[in-house]
Amino acid sequence: MAVRAAVLPAVGSPLEVTGIELPEPGPGRVRVRLAAAGVCHSDLSLTNGTLRVPVPAVLGHEGAGTVVAVGEGVTRVAPGDAVVLNWAPSCGTCHACSLGEVWLCVNAMNGAADVHARTADGTELHPGLNVAAFAEETVVAASCVLPLPDGVPLTDAALLGCAVLTGYGAVHHAAKVRPGETVAVFGAGGVGLATLQAARIAGAERIIAVDVSPDKEELARRAGATDFLTATADTPREIRALTGKQGVDAAVECVGRAVTIRAAWESTRRGGRTTVVGIGGKDEQVTFNALELFHWGRTLTGCVYGNADPARDLPVLAEHVRTGRLDLTALVTDRISLDDIPAAFENMLAGKGGRALVVF
């Protein structure tokens, strides 16, 4: 069956929206009709080579839709079920999985090397991050679909597949923010806005949003920020001034640049936690001297996919949505079509807006 999809022909090449031929779902596989797909910075990182996957590939990893067909042996979902796509399915058997750290599963990306579909001339296509959500329909492993709990709008549910799981997990699992603490969030894009909401849900007393664009202040405050700072070289000093000269208990970096990682570190109080969520390039070098590591006693940690277990966390997030504590619509600044994805990439590079959502 032919569907339209956004294809990355090669690293560094522009996306091409074109028709592709999807196979019928084989054993253990599921065909999903997409309702929506979020445009994430990780997709941009695939186009420029910061993240490497086999190409040509259909991109998109944050999505939700409806099951239209299942292959032999699939029992967890059935045609007609609403599902969220899980782009990093854990194998359950590797060392990380045996420790309960499913977000570090060494086999999670194995599916990215599979042949996912073909173009009209027969060119083989791979699924960029396992699920190939930038398409009207996709075929994925059954482990890549999670049943959507009741009470969550299907279109907005796409955000649960990456931005919200990442932001919520960064606060609750990695930084372990406690009620009454102070938090700084660097970057107010899709993940940053989700992180701000998660800090509010966690009961943080003061939540400071930092972004290079002053235009994001309203978005950040809607998400839960009590304060907003336009990023400058003086940002750490400004944050300390807002927190009794101490610095925040927890800083979460959602950009992936050396300068913002360093600023987040310097904004954290003595003994506080600095969590890096943003995906940076290998040339983004961050340096620390031995004395400051001893003196400040801070914790610096990376955070993969919010250190989340999607099967465990999705029902929790759904409950927050149902009760109104988590507002998915507040994360979306643009609802677009497949053809608008390149423009959404440009907006991300320019630091504009929150999450762009492809609505089918």
Per residue in 261-293, pLDDT tens? 999 999 999 999 999 999 988 899 999 999 999
Domain shared by 151 and 178, yes or no: no
Q: Are the C-beta atoms of residues 171 and 202 closer than 8 Å to each other?
A: yes
- If one counts the domains in the chain, the total is 2
Domain shared by 8 and 157, yes or no: yes
User: What whole-number distance in Å separates Cα of residue 199 and Cα of residue 196?
Assistant: 5
User: What whole-number distance in Å separates Cα of residue 154 and Cα of residue 237?
Assistant: 43
Instruction: Answer yes or no: is 317 within a domain.
Output: no
Which range of residues forms the domain containing residue 227?
A: 167-304
User: What whole-number distance in Å separates Cα of residue 226 and Cα of residue 205?
Assistant: 9
Structure tokens at 101: 């750290």
User: What whole-number distance in Å separates Cα of residue 163 and Cα of residue 167?
Assistant: 6
Domain shared by 124 and 202, yes or no: no
Instruction: Answer yes or no: is 314 within a domain.
Output: no
pLDDT, average across residues 155-162: 96
User: What whole-number distance in Å separates Cα of residue 37 and Cα of residue 237?
Assistant: 38
Domain shared by 130 and 200, yes or no: no
Instruction: Answer yes or no: is 316 within a domain.
Output: no
Domain shared by 63 and 178, yes or no: no
Instruction: Answer yes or no: is 138 within a domain.
Output: yes
Give the global pTM: 0.95
Domain shared by 34 and 142, yes or no: yes
Which domain CATH number covers 116?
A: 3.90.180.10
The residues, any chain, with a CB within 8 Å of residue 324's CB and separated by 6 or more, are none
Q: Are the C-beta atoms of residues 359 and 36 closer than 8 Å to each other?
A: yes
Per residue in 102-155, pLDDT (tens digit) is: 999 999 999 999 999 999 899 999 999 999 999 999 999 999 999 999 999 999
The residues, any chain, with a CB within 8 Å of residue 290's CB and separated by 6 or more, are none
Which domain CATH number covers 248?
A: 3.40.50.720
Per residue in 232-248, pLDDT (tens digit) is: 999 999 999 999 999 99
User: What whole-number distance in Å separates Cα of residue 164 and Cα of residue 347?
Assistant: 20
Domain shared by 24 and 154, yes or no: yes
Task: Give the number of other Cβ atoms within 10 Å of residue 117's Cβ.
Answer: 26
Domain shared by 38 and 186, yes or no: no
Domain shared by 280 and 345, yes or no: no
